[in-house]
A = this chain, B = another copy of it.
Amino acid sequence: MQIGSIEAGGTKFVCAIGDEDYRIKDQTQFPTTTPEETLQKTLDYFAKFDIDALGIASFGPIEIRQSSPKYGYVTNTPKPGWKNTDFVGTLKQKIRVPMFWTTDVNGSAYGEYVMSTLANEKIDSLVYYTIGTGVGAGAVIDGEFLGNAGHPEMGHTFLKRHPQDLDFPGICPFHKDCLEGLVSGPTLEARLGIKGPEVPRDHPVWDIMAYYLAQAAIQATLIIRPDKIVFGGGVVDEALLEKVRVQFDQLLNHYIDLPPLKNYITMPQVANNGSATLGDFALGIKALKD
């Protein structure tokens, strides 16, 4: 069996070919330019292979409700040129195999879910947050994505403000101080005037970030009751997650029984979002079976 994977990011596309054991047999990447050029390069790549199914995890917002006439579209994205692009329709003109179309973060969530399953972690459910330019999230329960639209937007809930951060208005264009408006990468520069990667690891802002991420983890915990919460994205490292675990523990105050926090709140198992390709393979296989 040969399965295709497209990780369609706002900066670059990663296309790959894998087998039913999720082994990568071929892989390429190219920058995300215009939709015409980028999707043509994608078609050119897959024309070289005989695939049985295709998993696609795309930047967004995208339409994933199959009942919608805009199913398969990148919708009102701020990315120049991509608004209202019929991504799946363009591919289907040339590639006639079952396709699974979902968000980039859902692809990563599914990859982490599959990896945990392969590692015999006895995981039935998993929540994945990505903390980068924005904040996205995906949730998998028993192999299915959570939510009517299969597309939670849990990066935009509101949180209790940190006492040392009350003057920061937040930067979400929709909600000001929602989770994304308080912890996405650009909030660091908005607060401190220096770029995120240049903020010293001992700066007190990381305690503020951890306070908010801990509350996000509490929301996911109390609402979804998942087996595991994974934080990925450029803002996250193990030092930050250790602060998140401490704050989570204090705020939740042992209200419910949970696994050891070291296993419950974790980094992705594969660095640099590498689990997304594996997730795409698994979703491609799922599309074939459904």
Contacts and interface: CB of A to CB of B under 8 A. Distances in A.
B255 A175 contact: yes
A165 to B, nearest CB: 12
Interface stretch (A5-13, A146-154, A233-241, A267-275): A146-154
Contact of A152 (B159, B177, B225): B225
Interface stretch (A44-52, A108-116, A188-196, A212-220): A212-220
Contacts of A151: 225
| A interface secondary structure, majority | loop
A148 B219 contact: no
Given A147-B225, A149-B225, A153-B255, A177 B158 contact: no
Nearest to A215: B158
Contacts of A147: 223-225
Given A148-B124, A148-B125, A159-B160, A174 B255 contact: yes
A221 to B, nearest CB: 8
A194 to B, nearest CB: 27
Interface string A249-267: 0011101100000000000
A41 interface: no
Q: How many A residues are at the interface, by size bracket?
A: 35 or more
Contacts of A124: 148
Nearest to A226: B148
Contact of A177 (B156, B160, B227): B160
8 contacts: A139-B223, A146-B225, A153-B225, A153-B255, A157-B222, A158-B215, A159-B159, A175-B251
Interface of A: 124-125, 139, 141, 146-149, 151-161, 174-175, 177, 215, 218-220, 222-227, 251-253, 255-256
